[in-house]
Amino acid sequence: MAHRHIDRLLKVFKRMSEPTQDHLRNRLRSIADPASGRDLVAAGLVEEVLVKGGLVHVSLLTDRANAERMEPVRKQVEALLAREAGVKNVSVVLTAHKSEPAPAKPAAPAHNHDHGHSHAAPAKAPAALLPDVTAIVAVASGKGGVGKSTVAVNLAVALAQQGLRVGLLDADIYGPSLPRMLGLSRKPEVVNDRMIPLAAWGLKAMSIGFLVEEETPMIWRGPMVMGALEQMMGQVEWGPLDIMIVDMPPGTGDAQLTMAQRVTLAGAVIVSTPQDIALLDARRGVRMFERTRVPVLGLIENMSFFCCPNCNHRSEIFGHGGARLEAQRLGAEFLGEIPLVLEIRTNADAGTPITAAAPDSAPAQAFKTIAARLWDKVGGAGAKPSGPKITIS
């Protein structure tokens, strides 16, 4: 089962003195709900407290309309729990609910160790993850099936070919695809309680798919997903990187929120096909990143057109130019278009991205052009790569 595999991983990171859920829940009684004046627990706003391997995840119930008002409370909870012994990182998320929460059951008063003070002294918020990564870029889509992972992998390889130190993180916990696309099937080593990312095609990669069997379903709730994602960022020996490409899951859920709250994103790239329905979902992705104050670096139109390998006739199967027009409408940059080519799919299935297998092909050149523009935007037009250019023949 998936849990058995992940439990082995989590035990590596577990500390000897880990606070209990009840202890942390009682600590939250010192923070007041600004609406009712009652403590968060008594007000029924603490939906869940999860402790796993020194990582603490708290879900606070709130209406969408009150999310801005609750943001200072969320930060206060993070700062409070970050001081507890045995806590390595704290992630607090705001969760919308459909009905008013029921009052919490009466509980024994928590022991007050603050000698009469109702509020704890100010503390530093937990350190951001991935401090040695110069730029973190999320590759996202509003819906599945648009080739987002294919774009993320080939952009990462193209950036590595420019001589950059590149990391590739698979944030799609439910449907990891990096192992197949990179041709990797082994488990990462653990050295000094930290995982070593796998190396392929000039970059470092990590995916939950490296830790479980390929067909194992990840039947997890949101906090467990966020915990696994934070571990792949904070408890992996990534080392200094110029750029990290994060292959996001489709949609606008827990993983997107975790990335926006726990790391400093240089920006997000939205992948879409030219279809109207895909563009509608891409629009939601753009708005989601805007609301979490993450810059949208631009849009990419994947499967933009099909060129027959026999007669070179061009067919715009899904339409064409929709992403370019949508980028103009949203005030974002159009980064480029990727054609619908059989070799992109066959090479991905074989574990060899087309940018590595056929670097001089038209699709590979399209990925390289977009990658160069992406680095100009996040690394600076005058930034110099950290290493030599990598040529794969």
Where b means 16+ CB within 10 Å and e means fewer, 112-128 reads eeeeeeeeeeeeeebee
pLDDT of residue 102: 36
pLDDT of residue 221: 63
Residues 6+ apart with CB under 8 A from 216: 1, 2, 5
Surface-to-core class of residue 371, CB atoms within 10 Å of its CB (0-12 exposed, 13-18 middle, 19+ buried): buried
Q: What is the torsional sign of CA 43, 102, 49, 98?
A: negative
pLDDT of residue 51: 79
CATH topology of domain 133-379: Rossmann fold (3.40.50)
Tokens of 58: 């708290």
* Chain centroid to CA 75: 20
Neighbours of 27 (CB within 10 A): 20
pLDDT of residue 388: 44
Instruction: Note the pTM of the prediction, 2 decimals.
Output: 0.64
**Type of residue at 302:** N
- In the block, tokens 């041709």 appear at 183
| Long-range contacts (CB closer than 8 Å, 24 or more residues apart) made by 176-180 | 176/207, 176/208, 176/209, 177/149, 177/209, 177/247, 178/149, 178/153, 178/205, 178/207, 178/209, 178/247, 179/207, 179/209, 179/210, 179/214, 180/209, 180/214, 180/348, 180/349, 180/351
SS3 content of the chain, % helix, strand, coil (to 5): 35, 20, 45
Tokens of 296: 């949208």
**Residues forming beta bridges with residue 55, ordered by sequence position:** 52, 89
Question: Do 45 and 62 touch, CB atoms closer than 8 A?
Answer: yes
pLDDT of residue 335: 92
Strand boundaries in 153-197, DSSP class E: 166-170, 190-191, 194-195
Surface-to-core class of residue 325, CB atoms within 10 Å of its CB (0-12 exposed, 13-18 middle, 19+ buried): middle
pLDDT of residue 215: 62
**Type of residue at 353:** P
CATH topology of domain 9-95: GMP Synthetase; Chain A, domain 3 (3.30.300)
Residues 6+ apart with CB under 8 A from 326: 272, 279, 282, 283, 299
pLDDT, mean of each 10-residue run, the chain (393 residues): 50 55 90 90 86 76 75 89 82 56 40 42 55 91 78 93 92 84 88 89 90 68 73 88 90 69 85 68 73 86 73 64 75 86 84 88 92 89 47 41
Residue (of 374, 197, 199) closest to 300 by Cα position: 374
Q: Where are the domains of the chain?
A: 9-95, 133-379
Pairing of strands 203-207, 198-200: antiparallel
The Cβ-side half-sphere exposure at 79, using a 13 Å CA radius, reads 15
Distance in angstroms (rounded) separating the CA atoms of residues 14 and 29: 26
Query: What is the CA angle 250-251-257, rounded to 5?
Result: 105
